[in-house]
Structure formats: structure tokens, C-alpha cells
Amino acid sequence: MDGAEPILAAGRSSGPIAGPAPRWLTRRMVSPLPEPGPEIDPDQPVPDDPAELLPDAPQPLPPPPIEATPDDPGGDPGGVPEPA
């Protein structure tokens, strides 16, 4: 055998069955990651504008969401009050 623990049959106290225990990590799981593609340059800064990320987008991108401020928290001020 190659040093792996043998598998014991269910209900038996001794005696291995067919062979060594299966290995949990396959060769593909532990192989090094491939290098990034040429379209990704880790030295370039990430653009803030989403349109710069998709310059060939067929449609214009939607506007960014409006963030709430302390003066205008959003919601409907005249809406139904929350239950107590």
C-alpha cells in the first residue's frame, strides 16, 4: 500500500476492504491558480465610474442610487405610521 489508512468494512472490527481510503483533496484542488488574463492589469487603478468598466455596453447604465442623508432620510413622511 502507499501509506494511506485502509477502509474498514461497516460492522466489522478488523480487516480492510477493497483498498486505501480515498483522498479528499484531488490534484486539481491543490494545483496553483492560473495567472490572470492579459485583460486584467493589477497595476492599473480601478475606475470609480461603472461606465468605464463597460465601455462597449449597448445601453447606457442606470444612474447610481441616491443615498440617504440626515436631512432627507428617504421614505414617505406622510405614510402610514409603524405599529407600536
**Which pLDDT tens digit goes with each residue over 1-43?**
455 555 555 555 555 556 666 677 777 788 888 876 677 677 8
User: How high is the pLDDT of residue 83?
Assistant: 73
Query: CA dist 82 to 49, 52, 73, Å?
Result: 38, 42, 16
Q: Which of 4, 31, 28 is nearest to 18 (CA)?
A: 4
Q: Which of 50 and 31 is assigned the larger pLDDT?
A: 31
Q: Is the pLDDT of residue 55 over 60?
A: yes
Torsion (CA) 26, 30, 32, 34 in degrees, nearest 10: 50
Any residues with CB less than 8 A from the CB of 17 and at least 6 apart, and which?
6, 7, 8, 9
